[in-house]
Structure 1
Amino acid sequence: MCKLQSLARELLFHAETLSRMIERPTEFPTHARVDPFLGTAASDLPKPVGIAATWWRPKPPVGNTHPGASLPFGMVSACAYSGAYVTGYGRYGLSLDGGPPPVEFAKHEALGIAHFQQSGTGRIRSYYNYFLTTPLGPGGLEERTVRRPLLDEQAWPGYYGGRFSETEIEFEVVARPRGVVHRYRFPEGTDAHVAVDASAGGLLIDGMESYPQGGELHLEPDGSVAGFVVMEGIPVHFRCSAGDAEAYLWEDDEPTEASDYELTLDKQKLRPTFGFGFRGKGRIIELYFGFSLREPEAARVAADLGESLESSASEAASAWEAQLAMIEVEGGDEASREVFTTALYHSLLKPADFRDENPFTRKSGPFFLDLSTLWDLYKTQLPLMMSLWPERGAAFVEFLCEVAEREGVFPVSYLMDNVPDRFTKQASGLCHAILEDARLRGVEADWDRALSLLWRTSQSGKGRKSRFGEYGRSGVVDPLSHTLDISYAHFCMARMARSVGHQVIHDRATELSAHWRNAFDEKTGLLREDSTYYEGENWNYSFRFMHDMRSRIDLAGGDRAFVGLLDKFFGFSEPSHGERIFRFEGLNNEPDMEAPYAYIYAGRPDRTAHVVRRVLDCQFTTGPGGLPGNDDSGGLSSWLVWSATGLFPVCGQPVMLIGSPWFGRARYRLPGGDFTVIAEQNGPERFQIQRAWLNGEEIQRSWLKIDEFLGGGELRLEMGEKASGFGSEIRPPSFAG
């Protein structure tokens, strides 16, 4: 009976907690289908069937997402912090191989709310989670280090809330354009106090902590706390206001009467903390944070009390609805629509737009951070951003060019730090493809300047001492996947040079673009085995899109031989006796994410349809375990957004491939006009295209010119169960240079 009474009390308390939290807005139908918890736990996917049962995973099967409050491409996020890998949310420890993620913490607990989370990444060196904010229970400041079970969590775009068990303190946080608003509700009889650890950062895993290199805290005359801390070489200015609550400082866990506190390098192990509270009155504390990487005044403006938490939540929901409504889908079932809309949501979290917040030049203008997985984003997420939001794309182009001018090289990742090794990681020359893709998608920019910077950082200036210089001298670099990167980068430069009329760069870049062949073994038709391959094997990198796919297929022995290799890769056929192969990673990782569409270049779009549908049906689902691997800042989710609507971009080429739509209708709201994909008689096993019409005229090709997509129109597909031969004759264009 006691257990039943206890359970009844807990359920009553649970209901009362939820009734006190603000309700999810009902006027935003698209936003209502987003589940921010999708991808936060180890994969729990449908049982793989057919070829999907043969795929392998090199990385842990977990999305590494978080449910915290963020805005579209937002500068700031806020989420419960446990110190777990990799976002600071959850229970997992460091994991790098394909086994289940190890459990670091026995219970789902948190220390408080932290800010600036990564989204869906793996091991990347710096993890943020700054300004840990902890509501204190009866034990006072010592409770800052006490982990509390998390209950009653709920989240929707821009909002996150829940309850800390034992202290029974309820919390809600809402993202704002340059800050966050917090609300804490304390139980009767408990003094209301909140502590903010200005030195917090990183994860609670060995080697992943982050400590401030300097900083200052000040009590302001208006009762707010302001200052800055230098984290990973970046100054983070802040201001925090709490209405009528009294503000105070602690130094190294001891209260101080001083109104200022300076943190220096010899004090970096100390934990400067400030707080707000009511003693004997008031049960609710609201905090208004503002942040800036440039100046105190910008943080002060961002922290202005202004809108209430309810108003801020409504504005956040409205902002998300406007962006999520840019792609509408109809058909399918409720689960597939939830998976799709959440994928679109995850696609719009990064890169984080820090416009006017450049900490290096202190100048106004475009500035982006959290490009921690640019090698994934450039294939799917950035083409989506460039297509739907060309103005943001123009800002991104300007940002990349500013980095190149300032540092003499284009980045392959860009984190919230000042460490220069962001330029020599997993891939090479990604910005060459990104910039050419932006140009093809109609983004407005100074392309003469962009081309000059691309060439200067590749085959002149610092480029001579880089992999680009080595490639220019020898025609090959190791790892061999970088040979493919750099070859493609020269193709992209050649195309851009042709568009702006720079003949010298065009001719030299065209010549250098042909060296991709040096990475392949003509006996096998695959990349050579005498190299190392990041998070995969030579098979996983062998089916990347090249600019000269006709020659690539011929190198493998022609269409039939190339399809034969793909069939072994995806599990349609078995290896020969003694043959060593590595299968498709099934979107657990992204080196081979475009490979399902490689069939189209060999006249087998029916195989593409088969693989794409098996990925959609077997590798994604609803719930916390709904992703097959790291979301990689939206690179994985963007693959689903494109593929579920029946399209796929070829970054750097004026081509959109046609796959197999998951939905009966999908509409892109593009600046040039709406583009709609209609899949008639579509169904779980009716995923093969029988016939196709573009703007009312029948077509026989399984690809579109990029202008046919960007200009708006209608692609109507008749679907069926069996392959029809559609798209087998007219191949996507191949570019020799």
Structure 2
Amino acid sequence: MKNKLMTLKMRLNLKLFLVFLGVSVFTCFGQAKEDELIKYVDPFIGTQFFGHTFPGPSLPYAMVHLGPDTGTEGWTYCGGYVYADNSIIGFSHTHWSGVGMVDGGDVLLMPTVGNKLQLVPGTAEEPDAGYRSRFDHSDEKASPGYYAVLLKDYGIKAELTTTRRVGFHRYRFPKADDARVILDLGHQIGGNQETDVSELRILDNQRIEGVKGSGAGKVYFVAEFSKPFQYYGTFDASYSTPESGAGYFPYKSGERGVDIGAFVTFQTKDQEQVLVKVALSYVSIDGARKNMEAELPHWDFDLVKQQAEDVWNSELSRVQLEGATDDQKTIFYTAMYRSLLAQYISQDADGKYMGASGAIKEAKGFDFYGSFSCWDTYRSQHPLLTLIAPDHVNDFIKSIEAKIRDYGWLPAQHFQNVFGQGMVGDHLVPVIVDAYRKGYRDYDVDFIYNAMRKKAREFPAPPALREDARSGLEYLLKLGYVPVDKIEESVPKTLEFAYDDWCIAQMAKDLGKLDDYQDFMKSAANYKNVWDESTQFMRPRKSDGSWLEALNGRDQHVVSEGDHSYYAYFDPLLVGRRPNRYYTESNAWQYLWSVQHDVNGLIQLFRGKENFVDKLDTFFEMSPLISLPKYVGVVGTIGQYVHGNQPSHHVAYLYNYAGQPWKTQKRVRQVVEQLYRTGPGGLCGNEDMGSLSSWYVLSSLGFYAVTPGSPTYVIGSPLFGEVRLKVENGKTFTVKAVNNSTQNKYIQSAMLNGKPFSRTWISHAEIMEGGVLEFQMGPKPQRGWGTGISDVPPSLNDNL
């Protein structure tokens, strides 16, 4: 009783002390709750209709991406979780924030109860054929840093949270003599018997360690349980019964194979909690142990959940919105959350990481990022991070530098530090140059420049690196274009290498390498070599200089020349697929505009702004239908504009270059208001590592990076009444849109820091200096604003 009175007295004294300071206890804590931006984040957005997102907990830039899996087979399950499903396999520790590949799902845990031990997940059609469980979305919750669901078949509430490198599970079991946790390393369909071999060992009555084989990469793990095992076993799902049986310590159990796993069993009281910590490493089991020791030495689940929420609130608070509806805030902050989730660290707490050469390396004083989905992310996600995550940008480039030193070559798009030509183009180049030109230079600039130059000019590449060479470079250097009869994706390669070379030219000029500057500026104009005046498209061209013939009613078929094949006739509505395609996930209409670095030059090819605008108008207004065969990435269409895939993302902003910015304002508003929604189906296409989300964040702020590598942004139409962006050195850049609404989408006039502003672009330096950009908005186009010669965004030779 005495202790209780003392506690009450202490609480009263604390309240009186706060009142003395002029702080209302209710107001203080109530306001903190109101300011929590994580309440606007809905991790379920994009989990339906092939958004390929996942709803589980993670931290920004983390290694562990923990979450539920409902399936593993086929393109549908690239994210592991589909909202339409009603049963869960379990909870695995690696997911990608929207990709077009089936990967991740490593180290899966599933709590169960029941006499029968199931060794396989079962299927969505027959969940009782395995250990999966049914669930209802009404019993499911997800927020940044937290996920929870009731597993109906077992009466178990599962909760998840995470640190950067450790997943934390809390399972509330019913009263049971056979409460169980299954650890499955082989639940994915189609494991390779040579490359996907896994191992695990049960070391004592509370710990399992092992390595998940996944092709060229391996994921090491250490799992610790809060409750000692009653008994345990290992299994190989290739066999019908547990291979090692059940044992009692000090007997140790182990397993090696592709479809292997382990189970541990407990007696539990009703609502008894069993907690599991799972630390990952891409280096070693010892690295995973150290990660757990460094990040999660305790068992306080609620503390870790709160810490994760605090991290997310801090990150999201870099952008504050006024004049936005709750739905708009949900879309915006979820998009910002996804944008910050897309870059993944690969180094352990001690700095060690697995190098591309297969040797263990160490990141000293920086975070090492193993994956760059740069065909997707160079366009909007990386430019956005130069604004909202400036403390991470140098680490991205330091990671690229470390890869070059280790591998001996500038990589292309790659994942988990395993190199291979993932997509067309050489788009770590714009990631590097965009950061460099915006002032992020805490790395060996000359070394990285020379690596970019070497890859763009050296042919043949060293034999061991041919896969990462610029495919078609030998023809590009000789002919000025990539020929359709020799190399697949010939038109995109010509266009995207021209843009990459423009980026290198800008860095060469800044470094005083004027010969290189002239050389790369010349090749930056190679896009003109695939321009066909007669059709007004970027058209496939053969090695003899002739154009690929037009279809003209003839049957389309595939021509094979050696090991290379391509469609025989040119059809501007055809979206080809490997290996017989000559555009990348797009058609001639969608790739026509891929000259971000020289829009003025493209306008000249159309013989003037009027023709250019007419073609743009047709692009947005024509039928969205494409020629057969269909392609799954053609989604989120406005005419032939395809927002669900990256090559179209900058096109709405091109009207600014032709002196009709009101059409940019109209189209950008159409995209942000029509193609982004709340709810699981809220994304119109594959999230692709933050690219759809970062487009929305930038565009709703009122500008977009049409040309990464140029330290400028092109003005669109701001979506909110006021946005305050925290930039470096405690400064704030504010975008105000006075009289803004869905109808009032058109800019009437603008002021920058109190002075008239008519440019349809703004520099990165102006934003980072802080200040106020204020727009007056109205319901009709103001055809006089932003149309002067000096108002047009810079293009190619402009000295910016």
* Structure 2 counterpart of 1:86, one-letter code: Y
Give the corresponding residue for 1:159: 146
Give the corresponding residue for 1:593: 649
Q: Structure 1 260/138 Cα, relative in aligned 2: closer, same or farther at 3 Å?
A: closer
How far apart are the structure 2 equivalents of 1:282 and 1:701? 63
Give the corresponding residue for 1:385: 385
Q: Structure 1 318/504 Cα, relative in aligned 2: closer, same or farther at 3 Å?
A: same
Q: Contact between 1:405 and 1:453, CA under 8 Å: does it hold in 2?
A: no
Give the corresponding residue for 1:473: 478
Give the corresponding residue for 1:358: 353
Alpha-carbon deviations, 1:612-670, whole Å to 9, x = none?
A: 11111111111111111111111001000001110111311121111001101112211
How far apart are the structure 2 equivalents of 1:186 and 1:397? 46
> 1:512: how far off?
1.8
Alignment of 1:226-305 (within 5 A): 226-246=209-229, 248-252=232-236, 253-254=242-243, 255-257=245-247, 258-263=251-256, 267-268=257-258, 270-275=259-264, 277-278=266-267, 283-304=272-293, 305=297
Q: Structure 1 303/509 Cα, relative in aligned 2: closer, same or farther at 3 Å?
A: same
Q: Structure 1 210/345 Cα, relative in aligned 2: closer, same or farther at 3 Å?
A: farther
Alignment of 1:505-544 (within 5 A): 505-528=516-539, 530=548, 532-544=582-594
How far apart are the structure 1 equivalents of 2:207 and 2:409? 41
Give the corresponding residue for 1:443: 440
Q: Contact between 2:319 and 2:723, CA under 8 Å: does it hold in 1?
A: yes
Alpha-carbon deviations, 1:221-266, whole Å to 9, x = none?
A: 5732223233222222211111232273313223254514252xxx
How far apart are the structure 1 equivalents of 2:642 and 2:714? 19
- Greater Cα offset, 456-465 or 588-597: 456-465
> 1:600: how far off?
0.6
Question: Residue 516 of structure 1: SS of its match in structure 2?
Answer: helix
Equivalent residue in structure 1 for 2:132, among 139, 147, 163 = 147
Give the corresponding residue for 2:553: none
Alignment of 1:104-503 (within 5 A): 107-122=85-100, 124=101, 126-142=102-118, 145-151=130-136, 152-200=139-187, 202=188, 204=189, 213-221=196-204, 223-246=206-229, 248-252=232-236, 253-254=242-243, 255-257=245-247, 258-263=251-256, 267-268=257-258, 270-275=259-264, 277-278=266-267, 283-304=272-293, 305-355=297-347, 356-360=351-355, 361-365=359-363, 366-371=367-372, 373-416=373-416, 418=418, 420=419, 422-423=420-421, 425-444=422-441, 445-460=443-458, 463=461, 466=470, 467-477=472-482, 478-503=489-514
Alignment of 1:6-21 (within 5 A): none
Q: Structure 1 383/400 Cα, relative in aligned 2: closer, same or farther at 3 Å?
A: same
How far apart are the structure 2 equivalents of 1:527 and 1:199? 46
Q: Structure 1 555/281 Cα, relative in aligned 2: closer, same or farther at 3 Å?
A: closer
Aligned residues: 662
Q: Contact between 1:127 and 1:208, CA under 8 Å: does it hold in 2?
A: no
How far apart are the structure 2 equivalents of 1:70 and 1:343? 15
Q: Structure 1 647/182 Cα, relative in aligned 2: closer, same or farther at 3 Å?
A: same
Q: Structure 1 449/484 Cα, relative in aligned 2: closer, same or farther at 3 Å?
A: same
Q: Contact between 2:203 and 2:253, CA under 8 Å: does it hold in 1?
A: no
- Which of 1 and 2 has greater Rg? 2
> 1:146: how far off?
2.8
How far apart are the structure 2 equivalents of 1:354 and 1:670? 27
> 1:392: how far off?
1.4
> 1:208: how far off?
7.8
Give the corresponding residue for 2:41: 34
Q: Contact between 2:41 and 2:330, CA under 8 Å: does it hold in 1?
A: yes
Give the corresponding residue for 2:719: 662
Give the corresponding residue for 1:702: 760
Q: Contact between 2:98 and 2:687, CA under 8 Å: does it hold in 1?
A: yes
Q: Contact between 2:167 and 2:279, CA under 8 Å: does it hold in 1?
A: yes
Question: Residue 641 of structure 2: SS of its match in structure 1?
Answer: coil
How far apart are the structure 2 equivalents of 1:75 and 1:81? 18
Q: Structure 1 146/719 Cα, relative in aligned 2: closer, same or farther at 3 Å?
A: same
> 1:282: how far off?
8.0
> 1:209: how far off?
8.0
Alpha-carbon deviations, 1:577-634, whole Å to 9, x = none?
A: xxxx993334122210110001111011100010011111111111111111111111
> 1:140: how far off?
4.2
Give the corresponding residue for 1:86: 77
- Greater Cα offset, 292-301 or 435-444: 292-301
Q: Contact between 2:106 and 2:219, CA under 8 Å: does it hold in 1?
A: no
Q: Structure 1 223/27 Cα, relative in aligned 2: closer, same or farther at 3 Å?
A: farther
> 1:139: how far off?
3.0
Question: Residue 591 of structure 1: SS of its match in structure 2?
Answer: helix
Alignment of 1:565-644 (within 5 A): 565-571=615-621, 583-644=639-700
How far apart are the structure 2 equivalents of 1:277 and 1:374? 46
Q: Contact between 1:213 and 1:230, CA under 8 Å: does it hold in 2?
A: yes
Question: Residue 518 of structure 1: SS of its match in structure 2?
Answer: helix
Question: Residue 777 of structure 2: SS of its match in structure 1?
Answer: strand
Equivalent residue in structure 1 for 2:602, among 532, 552, 555 = 552
How far apart are the structure 1 equivalents of 2:677 and 2:93? 28
Question: Residue 136 of structure 1: SS of its match in structure 2?
Answer: strand
Q: Structure 1 357/198 Cα, relative in aligned 2: closer, same or farther at 3 Å?
A: farther
How far apart are the structure 1 equivalents of 2:253 and 2:220? 15
**TM-score, normalisation: structure 2:** 0.78
Alpha-carbon deviations, 1:713-732, whole Å to 9, x = none?
A: 21100001111121112211
Q: Structure 1 129/500 Cα, relative in aligned 2: closer, same or farther at 3 Å?
A: same
> 1:344: how far off?
0.7
Give the corresponding residue for 2:734: 676
Alpha-carbon deviations, 1:253-297, whole Å to 9, x = none?
A: 23254514252xxx43x4132435346798321001111111323
Alpha-carbon deviations, 1:380-433, whole Å to 9, x = none?
A: 001111222233111111112222333344333222374x4x32x332121111
How far apart are the structure 2 equivalents of 1:211 and 1:316? 38
* Structure 2 counterpart of 1:470, one-letter code: Y
Q: Contact between 1:692 and 1:700, CA under 8 Å: does it hold in 2?
A: yes
* Structure 2 counterpart of 1:433, one-letter code: P
> 1:198: how far off?
2.8
CA RMSD of aligned residues (A): 2.6
Unpaired stretches in structure 2, ≥5 consecutive residues: 1-31, 121-129, 237-241, 463-468, 483-488, 541-547, 549-580, 626-636
Q: Contact between 1:36 and 1:68, CA under 8 Å: does it hold in 2?
A: yes
* Structure 1 counterpart of 2:520, one-letter code: A
How far apart are the structure 2 equivalents of 1:88 and 1:710? 35
Q: Once the two structures are aligned, what percentage of the paired residues are identical?
A: 28
Q: Contact between 2:176 and 2:267, CA under 8 Å: does it hold in 1?
A: no
Q: Contact between 1:491 and 1:547, CA under 8 Å: does it hold in 2?
A: yes
Q: Structure 1 210/637 Cα, relative in aligned 2: closer, same or farther at 3 Å?
A: farther
Unpaired stretches in structure 1, ≥5 consecutive residues: 1-24, 43-61, 93-102, 576-580
1:728 aligns with 2:787: yes
> 1:545: how far off?
4.2
> 1:369: how far off?
3.6
> 1:504: how far off?
3.1
